[in-house]
Amino acid sequence: MLELAIKGSKRYYGLLAVLAGIAGLGGAFWLWQLDFGLGITGMSRDVSWGFYIAQFTFLVGVAAGGVMVVLPYYLHDYKAFGRITILGEFLAIAAIVMCLLFITVDLGQPMRMLNVIFYPTPNSMLFWDMIVLNGYLFLNVVIGWNVLEAERNNTKYPSWVKILIYVSIPWAISIHTVTAYLYCGLPGRGFWLTAILAPRFLSSAFAAGPALLILLCLMIRRFTNFDPGREQIQSLAKIVTYALILNVFFFLCEVFVAFYSQIPEHMDHIKYLFVGLHGHGKLVPFMWTSMALMALAIIMLIPPRFRANETLLAISCVMVFLGTWIDKGLGMISGGFVPNPLHEINEYVPTIPELIITLGVWAAGFLVLTLLFKITVGVKEEVHA
Amino acid sequence: MESSRRKFLKVAGISAVGMSVGTRPVLDALAATGGEHGEIKSPEMVKAENALSAVHWGMVIDTRKLQTAADLEPLIEACHSIHNVPHHELKRQEIKWIWETEFQHAFPGTGTQYLNEAAQHRPFLVLCNHCQNPPCVRACPTKATFQREDGLVLMDFHRCIGCRFCMAACPFGARSFNFRDPRPFIPEINKKFPTRSKGVVEKCNFCAERLAEGKMPACVEASKGAIAFGDLDNPESEVRKLLKENYAIRRKETLGTEPSVYYIV
């Protein structure tokens, strides 16, 4: 099936070249980072995790979002999704690849990363994160490949794949729960020390993942001969709507807890993010933009008439993706680290090299996604020809 | 054509697995025989006769005896100089094992509205608390940060992968990261203590290397009696006596990390 990825139009090769170029540029900057150290980023003693880990956190969510296509089809026999489960699985692969790359570029000593395997430490959430992320990648590669190959050969996939599929469903929930557990078990970080962090992560994931999937489906319909299907896109849109509403509701619960209790430790981080604290407020415009995007997206997604209009839906999905990205990818990390445990404020701003490396990883992920989707579309076009 | 390629791949795969699993015992067996050069013994760790030992090391800082920033400077300098702590220009890349701050930062959320004037303006020394229930040790995925039996929370700089999870976990902001190679920024290298590389986390180690030679930690020695250091488990120790006679507080006690550093205010 791999040969389907290397045969395509000039536009396809062009896309691959652009993505590879950006990824290569990111790689070159990473080499500089390996030489100089993480000092080329804007991270600091106080904000010791920045853009890289923020992207990782967001993308674990996108990867988990793939389960929203798999679950209805395999557990509840929602036949319509059968057409696009492979797209969800391959999106998960690309997202996990980006997660692993972001973790790698964030490490101070990446050549020692196998230490996590040589010295297993079950009390560390990072240990479990490594296991669940790599496990999920393995699951999706094996499942996706076998299901697609079977479809291409007009046959049923082997029965052991079904077991892996059933395992992948709770596993998807686990990857984002474990990622949330990285944060919500740390005693010194009041912003993250909340039971609702894992549910919030999951709801945000089930909004962002399917939203991206909808956009990708619309693009596939536009640029190839495979139509993922109107009904499928509409069902995904319903999932995005409810997940987004839950996400915003969970956040409002956090706001209530912090501001009704008036406990400074809880209020300070939200204040820093939304109104600034002691004169520092670099993230304030971003956070309000995120809230506006999500609120507007909810308004545009609830009425069935708006949802049914695929142009409006596309715009809503972009807003959902951007809004959740700012919320999780920008606000969550800085908000947790500022103010620091001594209640001092040192803000974080990413540097240009840091952003280029980040972009490079995103490009690498989309390169993987393009290749996998090209194979998928190739098979679908073959089968339906 | 198809089947012979598949056969080749099968054989190659099994050989690769076999080699990766099988070479280790073979090499170990070869190494064990040693030959004329004698046996290879794994190194043993033996404590020096004059090494200090305790069940639970702890520190009591009498802040009444350290009134000004000038009092604290020699303590900080003593620690940073013998441990090859670099001096960085950029604040965000700074590395500090022990430093001074105000009461409201050392003890955030602890009533400062009408605080005793003296305490409000007094500089406070903050460092790693070598907690008995350390969240940083719980967080570290490689056990590069670990707790010794005598209570010290130490670091293996060679195992650290620089993930900085321990920095996120520490409720006291006690840890620093080497954002770049520290060696050019060390004013004078103390050859008796290792320097670190870029990409690893570091923090106060309660001068484990000095305890092993029968000496008190550098900051304790430089404090001229303002800081006491000893076995919190021993009721006769100086630290326990100080705690019996004076009211002392610890940082963020409600978090349950059980810091081993006490402050007489």
Interval B152-167: pLDDT, tens: 999 999 999 999 999 9
pLDDT tens string A298-339:
999 999 999 999 999 999 999 999 999 999 988 999 999 999
Cβ <8 Å between A37 and B252:
no
Of B94, B109, B135, the CB nearest to A187: B135
pLDDT band at A247 (very low <50, low <70, confident <90, very high): very high
How far is the C-alpha of A215 from the C-alpha of A313, rounded, in Å? 9
The domain made up of B57-264 has a fold known as Alpha-Beta Plaits (3.30.70)
Q: How high is the pLDDT of residue B118?
A: 78
pLDDT score for B171 = 97
Residue B133, pLDDT above cutoff 80:
yes
For residue A229, name the pLDDT band (cuts at 50, 70, 90). Answer: very high
Amino acid sitting at position A381 = E
Work out whether strand B248-249 and strand B227-231 pair parallel, antiparallel, or are unpaired: unpaired
Instruction: Tell me the per-residue pLDDT of B79-101, one tens digit each, with 9 for 90 and over.
Output: 999 999 999 999 999 999 999 99
Give the pLDDT score at B115.
76
Residue B31's pLDDT band (boundaries 50, 70, 90)? low
Which residues 162-201 of B are in CB contact (within 8 Å) with A?
Answer: 162-165, 167-173, 176-181, 197-201
Query: What's the confidence (pLDDT) of residue B25?
Result: 78
Interval A128-143 mean pLDDT: 96
Q: Tell me how far apart the alpha carbons of residues A301 and A307 are, in angstroms, rounded to a whole number.
A: 5
Kindly state the percentage of chain A with pLDDT values over 70: 100
CB-CB neighbors (< 8 A) of B91 in chain A: 44, 346
- Confidence check: pLDDT of B32 > 70: no
Whether B66 contacts B78, CB under 8 Å: no
Does the pTM surpass 0.95? The reply is: no
Q: Which of A44, A342, A347 to mutate to test the interface with B (most CBs of B within 10 A)?
A: A342
Query: What was the pLDDT predicted at A321?
Result: 97
Chain B: residue whose CA lies nearest to A123: B138
- The 10s digit of each residue's pLDDT in B199-248 is 999 999 999 999 999 999 999 999 999 999 999 999 999 999 999 999 99
Domains of chain A with bracketed CATH: 2-234+349-384 (1.20.1630)
Tell me the ipTM for this assembly: 0.94
> Cβ of A107 under 8 Å from any chain B Cβ?
yes
Q: Which residues neighbour A324 within 8 Å (Cβ) at sequence distance 6 or greater? A: A58, A61, A204, A207, A208, A211, A244, A247, A290, A294
Digit-coded pLDDT (tens) for B99-114: 999 999 999 988 777 7
**Residues A213/A214/A218/A224 CA torsion (nearest 10 deg):** 30
pLDDT of residue B50: 85
pLDDT band at B124 (very low <50, low <70, confident <90, very high): very high
Segment B249-261 mean pLDDT? 96
Of residues B141, B172, B173, nearest to A116 (C-beta): B141
Q: What is the DSSP letter of A190?
A: T
Q: What is the pLDDT of residues A41-75, one digit of tens each?
A: 999 999 999 999 999 999 999 999 889 999 999 99
Q: Is A24 on the interface with B (CB under 8 A)?
A: no
B105/A343 touch (CB, cutoff 8 Å), yes or no = yes
pLDDT at residue B39 in the model: 61
Predicted confidence (pLDDT) at residue A342 exceeds the cutoff of 60? yes
How sure is the predictor about A377, in pLDDT bands with cuts at 50, 70 and 90? very high
Residue to mutate among A45, A104, A105, A262, with most B CBs inside 10 A, is A45
Is A49's CB within 8 Å of B105's CB? Answer: no
User: Are the C-beta atoms of A258 and A249 separated by less than 8 Å?
Assistant: no
